[in-house]
Structure 1
Amino acid sequence: MSPAHAFSGLDTDEAARRLAADGPNLLSADRTRSLALIALSALREPMFLLLAAASALYLTLGDLSEGLLLAAAGLVTVALVVAQEARSEAALKALRQLSDPVVRVVRDGRAQAIAAQNLVCGDIVLLAEGQRAPADGALLGPDILQIDESALTGESVAVVRSGVPAPPDGALSDRVFAGTLVVAGQGVVRIDATGPRTALGRIGASLSTIGESRTPLQKSTGRIVIWIGAMALVFAVVVALAYGLLRGLWIDGALAGITIAIALIPEEFPVVLSVFLSLGAWRLAQHQVLVRRAAAIEALGGATMLCVDKTGTLTENRMAVAALWSPQAEGRPDDEPLAPALRDVLDTAVRASSPQPTDPMDLALAALAPPATERPEQVWPLATHRLAVVQTWRTPDGRRTAAKGSPEAVFALCRMTASETAAARSALERLASGGLRVLAVAEADHDAAVAAPEELEFRFRGLVGFLDPVAADVPAALEVARAAGIDVAMITGDYPATALKIAGDAGIDVSAGLMTGAEIAALDEAALAARIRDVRVFARVQPGQKLALVRAFQANGAVVAMTGDGVNDAPALEAADIGVAMGGRGTDVAREAADLVLLDDRFGSILGAVRLGRRIFTNLRRALIYITAIHVPIAGLALLPILLGAPPLLFPIHVVLLELVIDPVCSLAFEAEPSEEDAMRRPPRPQRSGLFGLMEIVTGLARGLPILATVLALYLIVLPAAGEAVARSAAYVALAVSNLALALAIGASAGVGLFDPRRRLFWSISASLAVILLTALYAPAVAHVFRFGAPSPGLLSLAVAAGLFAGGWSGLVRWLRARSGAARPPYQPLGAGA
């Protein structure tokens, strides 16, 4: 059978025609909610139901203007919720498009990457280990794949598939089904069924790329909202009964109860969480970080340890053959002429590489010597017990088998003597200490097929050194990590000397030396946790040992972010506090196990995600504190005047107007607030520091009580002299201004200018509220509805000044502290002082 690169595949026009005829290769419809569904959900919110009840009461009393105004306010509230939810849905839809699986196909005679949903019948797909089959099809050629079909059959044991027809009693089959996982091997598949026509599609299964489940934070916040809401409703009923029993005004009591219920129910909490998590995920995607689980956004800002791969994360993953060595000669691949022994090393390495190279080292070899046009007769892929790739080829004289892999594995295959091994190891150490990644190659000639490579007598050919330099932006990114109090550990399967050289070039602390996989395996959990307190370089690590390292770091109190790209990395990615998969070179299994996917595979993107995670966490906490704080004066001003025997200060329409300010301020203005300048010069927050707890509630009360005291005092002082309507106007202006001043005081990031362009949403909301207030104060028809009286310029100025002070005093204190240069606590490295 011809190799995959010999297939021309479909041309672009034919593929487009088939896509239009058959539809996209999707198993389920888009999960985005429509505007109608969002609006229907908003109409069931307690806030809207309370507004509807208040509007009905006013209309029953014949107060047409206030009843209609409340009804309009209810519709505006619904529209605001719909707008926010629609923005969140748009962000999620963009994320789903980014997270669509990508497959390699042959079209127009060349291999290219396309979105899996654009796959059509007749496409030639290149499948490799760790990938999920994107559609149903048939294997072409002699490749042997081990495939996990548990998604279809429930059977956990992998099956063997090949394009070679099976003997009558054989178990091989050429069928590959959508959703099944390639456990080992690589192959070429011609697609013959897509989307709902696949076996998986016919049984009604669906795949999900962004989870719909609520995060722990959303669940806990939902419980808080239900608890506070229930208390608010009970309190509102008690107030309504007391009002009616004490004054005999049952309708007024009902209105007072509704007012207090509206003031107390923190319906902004779930809205704010939804907006922050969805827009936060969207912002991360703009920085090439795809969020697969929203809970990762909550954990990002607290990461204290980054465990990263070497190849492609710290290095460029752009391999080039830099050195060749054999027992007879040593040189570079561009030497003229190249020594025959070195030509044999290069040819053997190519024979042990894939005919359709995708691995960076295979690509580097293919650039020097074109891959074979035929296909190998037999392939033994990389395995845990044999870290080498072995391929058998037909020759005119029989068979030739080539091996390429870790020097230790190839030395074992060759059964080398002590003196032969010593010479090879000396050359290996010299190449590795120069930062080269070194592979050994060997070959064997034989007549009959064998069951395992260990049956053959291999001849050691030599070593190939690959140069993969440290990426240019990595040293600076590591400096940022250190300043942010984040330790970085490099975990690689590479040779120890290579690992130390690359780690030192990148800027990782190598003073404590390194640990090897063998050393890790020899220690129990407690001993390993003690040993790794200072070690930050780990070499010759097996994928399964990454899990032990993650648990050891966590035992030392670290919040661990772990990168991975292979099938066997999945357990470590699952166990880490933040699993990070490589989007470019990572396998589907790694991406499914991870919380985040790096779309560009860059180390700097991880730190960018940490910075955004810190920003999201900080702004979300501020928004929730603001919500708590502003409900204190609203609820207090709705209740205390009644208890003190004064005329009511707030009616439902007043509370609703403030709520229409609170929602956009806390959910959109706070979310848009930029990071503080020193966000990455602070230590990570403590692991046990929750987003919202008793301390935040106390902080909210401390910010809200001064506003309550100031506005109530202003109302009671002005009331005897100016009357109820004017006193209400002055107090309401002070309350509204303090609302905005508090938002700015809590949300403003240190070091960011007051009129920074990124804060334009806040100032737009402030300007809109100012126009509404002035209209309500001085337009007689509107003032009548709000029960306002026009205050004098002096009283209006006093109200504005009182509001600015009551809401903004904490921001002033914060600004003065920042100007004084108060130092933050120094960062203590993990394990310091232990």
Structure 2
Amino acid sequence: MAVHAQTAPSGHDADTATVAPAGLTGLDEAEAQHRLARHGPNAIAGTRSRGLIDIVRGILREPMFLLLLAAAGLYLVVGDIGEGLFMTAGAVVTIGLVVLQEARSERALAALRELAEPFARVIRGGTERRVPAREVVPGDLVLVGEGERLPADGLLIAGDALTVDESALTGESVPVSKLPAPTGTDGAADPEPGGDDTPYLFAGTLNVRGQGMIHVVRTGASTRLGRIGASLVTIEDEPTLLQKTTGALIARLGILALAFCAIVAVAYGVLRDDWIGGALSGITLAIALLPEEFPMVLAIFMALGSFRLARHKVLVRRAAVIETLGAATFLCVDKTGTLTENRMALTTIWRAGRVQELEGGIRLPESMEQTLRVAALASAIRPVDPMDRAVHAVAEWLPGETDRAGAPLRSYPLRPELLAFIQVWPDPSGVLYAAKGAPEAVFRLCRMSDDERAVTDAVVAGLASRGLRVLGVASAREDRNRASAPEDLAFAFEGLVGFADPVRPDVPQAIAEATRAGITVAMITGDYPATALEIARHAGIDTGAGVLTGREIAELDAEGLRERVRRIRVFARIMPEQKLALIEALKANGEIVAMTGDGVNDAPALEAGHIGIAMGQRGTDVAREAADLVLLDDRFVSIIGGVRLGRRIFTNLRKALIYVTAVHVPIAGLALLPLIMGLPPILYPMHVILLELVIDPVCSLAFEGEPSERHAMERPPRPSSEPLFGTSQIGLGFIQGAVVLGAVLGLYVWALNAGAPEMQARASAFVALVVANLVLAFSDAAEPGTSFFDSRRRVFWGIGAGAAVLVATILYVPPLAAILRLSPPSLSWLAAALTIAVLAGGWFGLAKRLRAALTPRNAQRTTA
């Protein structure tokens, strides 16, 4: 059954013409491209990427840059043009570096948005194609299935009666029914959403049940959703909990920095009678105290981390889930398509006590041909389900006609109370009901006796024990089309069909890796228990405790279910709503649960899980919208790869934040302590700017690209209560920073007491501080056992080389040295500065290596 747009009657646009059934062709590709150019993309106004101007405007609102500009202005006002210009140039370079990094994040986010773009199934040139939803044009024929969002406004012209949730447009939570449009319906009409038994469908609404074909009438801004799309632009993304926590920390530190700024400025002015110097010293301290890198590090890690995950076929829809990945302890996965290859092959037919294995070229007995014909009539005409495709692939080789011309009179989709798909076809003797579904549902339709059912149940169990997916087949006939409910008819049992879907070859190794990482893997499937157990054995899932069925779950109370899920790892004949009960039981047991799903009814379980994982290829739009992650290739190994990358991102982000804390301690201390001790200042605002030029790129780029820890997937998940950046991390950062502060301040005092000129002593301390910060960055980031010159550390070594060139330039170019109030130290003081810097910054790395060498291998694996 198919349609195409006929010639428009007078007064109507050809793209929104009256539609009528005809040959299945749709638009040809050239016409589709012409209409796309004419009407524009099928997209409504939405969030756009930030341009360079927006990024710069946002950066200039940051307190640090306002302080930099204030310091530069102050230098210019007091008449030191060289220092003022240097400060201004430093601020420009700093802003430029931040702009480059944020622009990189925006590019990563834009690439993620492109990956997340929805697709639509269209008929073009007589063939079914999958195209981005933004390329759908008026006149296209779009196929829509259960759980999919409609990409455009149009008319339902073929298929089942649909049930559509239009609450996005009407506010009414009750879904409405849709019937195919009568031949000759005018597609130029502009109906209102809502109302039962109409053929009108609208973009953004959700098809809850049924499947059909839509003739697209309006796209993009012309759709009902598009007309209200402008309001969506004003909706901004909510910051994550981590971002809110970090923002609050920065606000408190900012208030502290400004208070110290005022105290130091007043004290300097009163004690030394130098109010200009006091203002500069206060600004220096405020700049040193403000950890403005925190939000930038978070944003860049989240954006680039999400992009790294997407390159491994895991699309992150909610950035906060990256933090949760490292804590996952329990992984609930579907069987079909996730653990298995989802390439169903019809391998076995059973009828009347006889089993027939389907092999190449074999001729089926006539009775089994009848079973196969009925199974084909009970399958979708344009199959999406792999089992329907497998039935059609075999049935097309039967002699004679294997299906009926046109479309079925009616279809009865799967329902929770009847797990069978039924289609009604015209028949010479009246109408034929063809049913295919779960064996127990088909047995009920056939009203089998207990004895008959016991015999057939044994056959089903035998086939399932071979790992086959088993469906029952049945038929019923009536003398005329009465639209009878299937349950009211007496079906004749036609036999059983068995499908093979092998386990993916990479699954056992991935499950073994998950087990080593302390993650328990459980399989949840709607399949027969024996089939589920056999597939679980092949996949490497623990089957020692047996299988728990949906019927048994229904009979358990909450406490009983909590007890059973502590041991059982295989769950069969599970209804979607029972997945939610399993999730709640696991969470009550203290597990951090990752849950996979693909159907409409999986959305509550995906929302309830700590990490919801939807299938990108076979999942419904509803499941993808409810999920935190989307598997672009539907493979289990991608989940484990996502966990591995998630642990790497979490670990490196924590290291970066510890480092940010550490480096601010010596900068702030060296800006304040010389004033208290009555010594000449070590750091002026331009020195702090130079240090910030080194800190920012090291944090956001070098740490983000650091290789994963060697034993990251051989350790148990971190406790869910353990924060990314808590008291212990802050304490470690202060200890690291205090060591650097003591070493550099000690070097400065030593140099002054030894008679070194003030500018040489300051230069020695400045060199020691820069080198100590770089060595500390390497010590914090690098893991014992990784190569010192690992190729993934190119960014770090590039930053180190750049810092060396920069320091040498400002020391040995007299005009720059004069502006920064430095002079080249002697070789002995330079050697002392480098030695002290390496020791002060590298002690933590040495401690890590000693700990790794002294700790047994097994203990390393279990230590976070």
Pick the TM interval, shorter chain. Answer: over 0.9
- Could you tell me which residue of structure 2 aligns to residue 348 of structure 1? 374
> Which one of 105, 108, 111 corresponds to residue 122 of structure 2?
105
Are the equivalent residues in 2 in contact too, given 1:139–1:163 (CA < 8 A)?
yes
Residue 365 in structure 1 maps to residue 391 in structure 2: yes
> Which one of 802, 805, 817 corresponds to residue 851 of structure 2?
817
> Which one of 73, 80, 83 corresponds to residue 97 of structure 2?
80
In 2 relative to 1, CA 211–224 (structure 1 residues): closer, same or farther, beyond 3 Å? Answer: same
Alignment of 1:783-794 (within 5 A): 783-794=817-828
1:9 Cα deviation after fit? 1.4
Aligned residue for 1:671, secondary structure, equals coil
- Could you tell me which residue of structure 1 aligns to residue 413 of structure 2? 381
- Distance in 2 separating the partners of 1:232 and 1:651: 16
Are the equivalent residues in 2 in contact too, given 1:2–1:375 (CA < 8 A)?
no
> Which one of 172, 182, 193 corresponds to residue 155 of structure 1?
172
Instruction: Provide structure 2 residue ranges, at least 5 long, that are not aligned to the other structure.
Output: 5-21, 186-194, 397-402
Alignment of 1:60-459 (within 5 A): 60-141=77-158, 143-165=160-182, 171-204=196-229, 212-334=237-359, 336-370=362-396, 371-446=403-478, 447-459=480-492
Residue 732 in structure 1 maps to residue 757 in structure 2: no
> Which one of 561, 569, 580 corresponds to residue 528 of structure 1?
561
Are the equivalent residues in 2 in contact too, given 1:614–1:679 (CA < 8 A)?
yes
- Could you tell me which residue of structure 1 aligns to residue 786 of structure 2? 752
Are the equivalent residues in 1 in contact too, given 2:46–2:229 (CA < 8 A)?
no
> Which one of 783, 793, 797 corresponds to residue 763 of structure 1?
797
1:519 Cα deviation after fit? 1.3
In 2 relative to 1, CA 29–552 (structure 1 residues): closer, same or farther, beyond 3 Å? Answer: closer
Aligned residue for 2:739, secondary structure, equals helix
Residue 638 in structure 1 maps to residue 671 in structure 2: yes
Q: Number of matched residues?
A: 827
1:750 Cα deviation after fit? 3.1
**2:102 alignment partner AA:** E
- Could you tell me which residue of structure 2 aligns to residue 722 of structure 1? 756
> Which one of 63, 66, 70 corresponds to residue 53 of structure 1?
70
- Distance in 1 separating the partners of 2:832 and 2:663: 21
**2:520 alignment partner AA:** D
1:200 Cα deviation after fit? 1.1
- Distance in 2 separating the partners of 1:246 and 1:159: 80
**1:414 alignment partner AA:** C
**1:391 alignment partner AA:** Q
1:504 Cα deviation after fit? 0.5
1:330 Cα deviation after fit? 1.8
- Distance in 2 separating the partners of 1:820 and 1:585: 49
**1:357 alignment partner AA:** P
Are the equivalent residues in 2 in contact too, given 1:3–1:355 (CA < 8 A)?
no
**1:806 alignment partner AA:** A
Deviations 1:566-597 (A, max 9, x none): 00000000000000000000000000000000
Aligned residue for 1:662, secondary structure, equals helix
1:662 Cα deviation after fit? 0.6
1:329 Cα deviation after fit? 2.7
Are the equivalent residues in 2 in contact too, given 1:324–1:342 (CA < 8 A)?
yes
Are the equivalent residues in 2 in contact too, given 1:435–1:502 (CA < 8 A)?
yes
- Distance in 2 separating the partners of 1:826 and 1:812: 16
1:676 Cα deviation after fit? 1.3
Residue 564 in structure 1 maps to residue 597 in structure 2: yes
- Distance in 1 separating the partners of 2:565 and 2:420: 29
Are the equivalent residues in 2 in contact too, given 1:329–1:342 (CA < 8 A)?
no
- Distance in 2 separating the partners of 1:745 and 1:539: 50
TM-score (structure 2 length as normaliser): 0.94
Aligned residue for 2:750, secondary structure, equals helix
**1:604 alignment partner AA:** V
- Distance in 2 separating the partners of 1:827 and 1:361: 43
Are the equivalent residues in 2 in contact too, given 1:355–1:372 (CA < 8 A)?
no
1:518 Cα deviation after fit? 1.2
In 2 relative to 1, CA 762–2 (structure 1 residues): closer, same or farther, beyond 3 Å? Answer: closer
In 2 relative to 1, CA 487–85 (structure 1 residues): closer, same or farther, beyond 3 Å? Answer: same
- Could you tell me which residue of structure 2 aligns to residue 832 of structure 1? none
- Distance in 1 separating the partners of 2:2 and 2:656: 62
TM-score (structure 1 length as normaliser): 0.97
**1:634 alignment partner AA:** I
Alignment of 1:569-718 (within 5 A): 569-718=602-751
Deviations 1:725-754 (A, max 9, x none): 010011111110000000000011332211
1:247 Cα deviation after fit? 1.2
In 2 relative to 1, CA 207–248 (structure 1 residues): closer, same or farther, beyond 3 Å? Answer: closer
1:141 Cα deviation after fit? 2.5
In 2 relative to 1, CA 2–20 (structure 1 residues): closer, same or farther, beyond 3 Å? Answer: closer
Instruction: Provide structure 1 residue ranges, at least 5 long, that are not aligned to the other structure.
Output: 829-834
In 2 relative to 1, CA 121–691 (structure 1 residues): closer, same or farther, beyond 3 Å? Answer: same
Are the equivalent residues in 1 in contact too, given 2:43–2:221 (CA < 8 A)?
yes
Identity of aligned residues (%): 55
1:205 Cα deviation after fit? 5.8
1:204 Cα deviation after fit? 2.9
Which deviates the most, 234-243 or 524-533? 524-533
Are the equivalent residues in 1 in contact too, given 2:344–2:387 (CA < 8 A)?
yes
- Distance in 2 separating the partners of 1:147 and 1:442: 29
- Distance in 1 separating the partners of 2:484 and 2:293: 66
Are the equivalent residues in 1 in contact too, given 2:119–2:133 (CA < 8 A)?
yes
In 2 relative to 1, CA 792–347 (structure 1 residues): closer, same or farther, beyond 3 Å? Answer: same
In 2 relative to 1, CA 575–205 (structure 1 residues): closer, same or farther, beyond 3 Å? Answer: farther
- Could you tell me which residue of structure 2 aligns to residue 555 of structure 1? 588
Are the equivalent residues in 2 in contact too, given 1:329–1:341 (CA < 8 A)?
no
Are the equivalent residues in 2 in contact too, given 1:406–1:438 (CA < 8 A)?
yes
Deviations 1:639-667 (A, max 9, x none): 00110010001100111100111111001
**1:582 alignment partner AA:** M
- Distance in 1 separating the partners of 2:153 and 2:358: 43
In 2 relative to 1, CA 165–108 (structure 1 residues): closer, same or farther, beyond 3 Å? Answer: closer
